[in-house]
A = this chain, B = another copy of it.
Amino acid sequence: MQLGLIGLGKMGGNMAERLRRDGHEVVGYDRNPASDRNVDSLEALAGALSAPRVVWVMVPSGEPTRATVASLGEVLEAGDIIIDGGNSRYTDDQAHAAELSGKGIRYLDVGVSGGVWGLTEGYALMVGGDADTVAVAQPIFDSLKPAGEGGFVHAGAVGAGHFTKMVHNGIEYGIMQAYGEGYELMKAVDLVADPDAVMASWAEGTVIRSWLLDLLILATKADPGLAQVRPYAQDSGEGRWTIEAAIENAVPLPVITAALFARFASRQTDSAAMKVVAALRNQFGGHAMGQEGSSAPVPVS
């Protein structure tokens, strides 16, 4: 089928290629003139597509997506469909759908997982919106998703696609941190000769084998002991939103939250909290101050 695609960066470009390989007509637009765009404006994009148009937005979440959806609302017409395939917050979807419904423009939100591996392995898709609208875009989803039974779900009404992708990412935070903690403990003891080799062995037959473990093994093969990696981890927003959604619903998320906080702490250079702890120890005990790099307990004198 025919699809307009806005955003031809790493993710959007790969998705366009996967769709074209499968016989779809993709009309691409990117605000960057140096991209492989087929048209040079949103108006031209609308003009190049037959109604009802289906336009997939694949730009950074937050303000760029909001601005793109708003602009699209100006050039599309009743019956057309906007699909936000970026990493938007589900609350943005609900606002977008409400705004566009006044014009009769339909809206879907799609959480996409797969990263740089999606081109060849397929993208897992979590879709939010009404069933009729999902049905229109189904050929696109079928081409993007991996072969096999899984990899696609109509998760619920508008917002459900990004909500479930957000939860997916929250789980991902927890799993990554779990592997990290285990690896660190193995590195901390002389008893384990080569933590990289142990992890590599876990790829088969264990309870904890996973795609993330496979990636971690690749990483340690390329960089033994992860010696070249700096111990600072960013977070991309979904982890924060997951916890906010949990708080709103009184759901305890101790593991996912601990994983996010470990990332926050990893980037700190001068924690005020730990200064308080150190200062208090000094106040009541006349203790020597702590120092970086020590691991043994320091008995009170």
- Tell whether A193 is near chain B: CB-to-CB under 8 Å: yes
Which residues on the B side are within 8 Å of A250 (C-beta)? 188, 235, 264, 267, 294-296
* A174 & B265 in contact (Cβ 8 Å cutoff): no
A245-287, CB < 8 A from B: 245-287
Q: Which of B148, B159, B174, B293 is in CB contact (< 8 Å) with A267?
A: B293
Which residues on the B side are within 8 Å of A174 (C-beta)? 174-175, 177-178, 181, 255
Which residues on the B side are within 8 Å of A213 (C-beta)? 210
* B175 & A178 in contact (Cβ 8 Å cutoff): yes
Query: CB-CB contacts of A95-129 with B at 8 A, as 1s and 0s?
Result: 00000000000000000011111100111111010
* A150 & B251 in contact (Cβ 8 Å cutoff): no
A171 in contact with B160 given A61-B299, A201-B126, A212-B208 (CB within 8 Å): no
A276 in contact with B61 given A261-B254, A283-B219, A290-B233 (CB within 8 Å): no
- Tell whether A2 is near chain B: CB-to-CB under 8 Å: no
- Tell whether A182 is near chain B: CB-to-CB under 8 Å: yes
Determine how close the nearest CB of chain B comes to the CB of A35; give it in whole angstroms: 14
* B277 & A206 in contact (Cβ 8 Å cutoff): no
- Tell whether A33 is near chain B: CB-to-CB under 8 Å: no
A208 in contact with B289 given A185-B249, A274-B180 (CB within 8 Å): no
Which residues on the B side are within 8 Å of A286 (C-beta)? 10, 115-116
Which residues on the B side are within 8 Å of A265 (C-beta)? 252, 262, 265
Q: Which of B202, B232, B249, B264 is in CB contact (< 8 Å) with A278?
A: B232
* A295 & B267 in contact (Cβ 8 Å cutoff): yes
